[in-house]
Amino acid sequence: MAKTWRDYQAVFTRGNRLVDRLYLHQKVGGGGAALGGKLDLYRVFAERMVGLLCGDGAIGMVVPSAFHANEGATGIRKLFLQHTRIERCLSFENRKGLFDIHARYKFALIVARRPGPTHDMLCGFYLTDFRQLEEQSRWMQYDRAFIAASGGAYATLLELREPADLALARRMFLGQRGLGDRMRDVGIVFSREIHMSDDAGRFTSLRQPLRPNTQLISPDTVREIRKGDYLVLHEGKTIHQFSDRRTILPRYAISLAKLADKPTSIESTLYYRAACREIARSTDERTAIAAILPPGVLCGHTISVERRPARRPNAAALSLVGIMNSFAFDWLLRQKAAIHVSLYILSELPVPDFAPSSDRFLAHASLRLSCNHRGFMPLWREQLADAWLESSPVHSWPVIAAEADRWGLRAAMDAVVAHAYRLNHAQYERILAAFSHKSFREAPALCLAAFDELACKGLARFCRDHDPYCDIPLVTSQALPVIRLPNAVVRQRSLLPAGTGPVRA
């Protein structure tokens, strides 16, 4: 049995070696960097087809939709774009059983000719029936400039549904920088932290005495866990927009003694950090789900989280969370993400430049929405000192409790982001209509009213009217650690700066 298994594995090893010798575009990623991962045979056949073409030959092939959408197919996509003229890219969903494969599987019909390069192509996405090939009203023309702007270094194709979406995407993508560039400018670095399977041996179940008896983990419970040298582990399902607390409890904590080989992770937990849920389908109510996490927590791999928070100001993280939770940014993400909000997808999404008044307003508003328990008091005091202009009693948590009040502020933030993307009323209304709003039905009306108010008043006055702290400048110095972790593993690695104190709450 063991020999049979080894022989079986050897077949794949020999195949991989053969492909590595004969094919040059299988592992080419963004910017020409080499990609890892497993071999995908459709990419091998696609590259072989280009190699077999004569000077004016043509290719017609049915391939997985990964051909036009996935990071792993970057090399093959660029090969076709540069050395063939792609005439058609028509992507189908298998909901009607066109092929004997899973109903949710997507595939694409590609038609290409020699010689290249591709200057423009006709595209159609979310087709479900071959008869729709005759419905040219659903086809869209993607030119090279739009592919470069929307696909970035990976040359992916946006899966838009109709020409009106293409016009909207052109307006938002062309002439804008990617989110990755903005994050690099301010010193924000996202990555995964703890793998839920590979690192499972480090976990302590919170069903043991560490588990709280309340419905939600409270700051008091987190501090008690830290006294025992444990850090709470967040997963994607335990956070939501502007909130690190959901009705779904964290399931695990990790002892610092089991993190001796992860000093960067330990050091990062001393700070407030921006985080984004990694698993979020484009069919969910929201796809972009970002929050500020308090110190003392780790993140499983279903969350992308900051790994170098000491290198940027907290205000930059607050502003970023505000942008990512906007409907305009979310709409862009939905055109690229299927199930995973991968970092390579996020980095290519366009983000406009914001005026100083907008940036301050977004950071202050994000702070007010994120401060939902007293674990955020140090962040509040860093940004606003003792100022308190809320309708609630001084230093009561959450800062804004009523859902209607929260959405009133969120609508103002959303309007500012939409304005920065240069949207008009009709375009913004189209974006809002793409979401279900089932958790708060009044959101579209609030957002459109705020958008019209901004157009009437002008940006500077609008931001002043919706930010009671507009006269307080942003704190732009690098973030400081907030908590002390007493474990000897941390001290031996000199991760705690002198004078680091506990949470001031």
DSSP β-bridge partners for residue 300: 194
Tell whether the model's pLDDT for residue 492 goes beyond 50.
Answer: no
- Three-state DSSP string of 392-434: CCCCCCCCCCCHHHHHHHHHHHHHHHHHHCCCCHHHHHHHHHC
Structure-token pair, residue 121: 């192509």
What is the overall mean pLDDT for the chain?
87
- What percent of the chain shows pLDDT beyond 90? 63
Cβ atoms of 75 and 154 closer than 8 Å: no
Q: Is 66 helix (H, G, I), strand (E, B) or coil?
A: helix
| E-state strands within 278-335 | 290-293, 297-299, 303-306
pLDDT digits (tens, 9 = 90+) for 310-320: 999 999 999 99
Could you say which DSSP state residue 194 is in? B
Distance CA(323)–CA(317), nearest Å, equals 10
Which has the closest alpha carbon to 241: 402, 97, 407?
Answer: 407
**Residue 117 neighbours by CB distance under 10 Å:** 13
| Whole-structure pTM value | 0.87
Predicted pLDDT of residue 500: 34
- The rounded distance, in Å, linking the Cα atoms of 440 and 405 is 12
Q: Which residue has the higher pLDDT, 334 or 501?
A: 334
CA dist 214 and 229 (Å) reads: 21
**Residue spans of beta strands (DSSP E) within 102-163:** 106-113, 120-127, 140-143
Q: Which two three-digit tokens encode residue 190?
A: 């996202």
pLDDT-derived band at 103, boundaries 50, 70, 90: confident
SS3 232: strand
Q: Under DSSP, is residue 479 helix (H, G, I), strand (E, B) or coil? A: coil
pLDDT of residue 212: 43
Alpha helix (H) ranges present in 53-117? 66-69, 74-83
| 123 closest CA partner among 152, 83, 98, 150 | 150
Residue-range domains of the chain with CATH: 21-175 (3.40.50.150), 183-492 (no CATH)
Task: Give 136-186 pLDDT, tens digit per residue.
Answer: 788 899 999 999 999 988 899 999 999 999 999 999 999 889 999 999 999
Count CB atoms within 10 A of the CB of residue 377: 18
The burial of 260, by beta-carbon neighbours within 10 Å (0-12 exposed, 13-18 middle, 19 or more buried), is given as middle
For 60-75, write each residue's pLDDT tens digit.
999 999 999 888 899 9
Which is more confident, 366 or 213? Answer: 366
Q: Which residues pair with 306 in a beta bridge?
A: 190
